[in-house]
């Protein structure tokens, strides 16, 4: 194949390729390219600072979602004239509702996009340990493991945090 530019002629691409002396074995051994395509990409783990920023942004989003759910319940209680509905949300039921809001936020965001609002801000995403797209099962495990007390502090040690280890996922930087 010959590439012609106005007022000049260049050698064919194949001739140009053959004229160059490559020390890289992938050029001499085309099957190495196929191996490269099948291997997982080199992924850069998110930094502790990025993970902490994810947590802060996601906490703000969680509180905003919780406020929205509370506002919606308040409007419903007003429309059906039921003070009992609001009274029932005090105590343990409010804690359960908070857990459901949190699980729903993380599960829907990560299962559909691999990212939460915090990950959008820090340009990170969730992947499986091998770099592939996370499975729904892994995202469910990841979301549920966030309910473990003090789980958020596991990111300040070496290696991945607890919800990453339990779900066999990682949070990596996006290019």
Non-local (6+) Cβ contacts of 162 within 8 A are 145, 148, 151, 154
81 compared with 76, residue with greater pLDDT: 76
The mean pLDDT value for 6-17 works out to 43
Q: Please report, for the chain, the start and end positions of each structural domain, with discontinuous segments joined by +.
A: 4-38, 48-173
Instruction: Write the burial class of residue 58 (CB in 10 Å: 0-12 exposed, 13-18 middle, 19+ buried).
Output: buried
Q: How confident is the model at residue 20 (pLDDT cuts 50, 70, 90)?
A: very low
Q: Which residue has the tokens 């340009």?
A: 123
Residue 103 confidence (pLDDT) above 80:
yes
The pLDDT value given to residue 12: 43
């Amino acid at each position: 194949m010959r590439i012609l530019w106005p007022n000049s002629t260049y050698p064919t691409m194949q001739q140009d390729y053959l004229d160059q002396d490559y020390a890289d074995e992938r050029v001499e051994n085309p099957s190495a390219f196929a191996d490269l395509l099948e291997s997982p990409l080199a992924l850069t783990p998110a930094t502790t600072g990025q993970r902490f920023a994810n947590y802060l942004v996601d906490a703000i989003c969680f509180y905003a979602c919780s406020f929205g759910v509370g506002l919606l319940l308040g409007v419903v209680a007003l429309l059906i004239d039921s003070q009992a509905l609001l009274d029932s949300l005090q105590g343990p039921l409010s804690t359960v509702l908070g857990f459901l809001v949190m699980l729903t936020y993380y599960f829907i965001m990560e299962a559909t996009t691999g990212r939460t609002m915090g990950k959008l801000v820090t340009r990170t995403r969730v992947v499986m340990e091998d770099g592939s797209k996370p499975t729904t099962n892994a995202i469910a495990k990841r979301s549920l493991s966030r309910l473990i007390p003090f789980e958020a502090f596991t990111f300040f040690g070496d290696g991945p945090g607890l919800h990453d280890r339990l779900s066999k996922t990682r949070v990596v930087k996006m290019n």
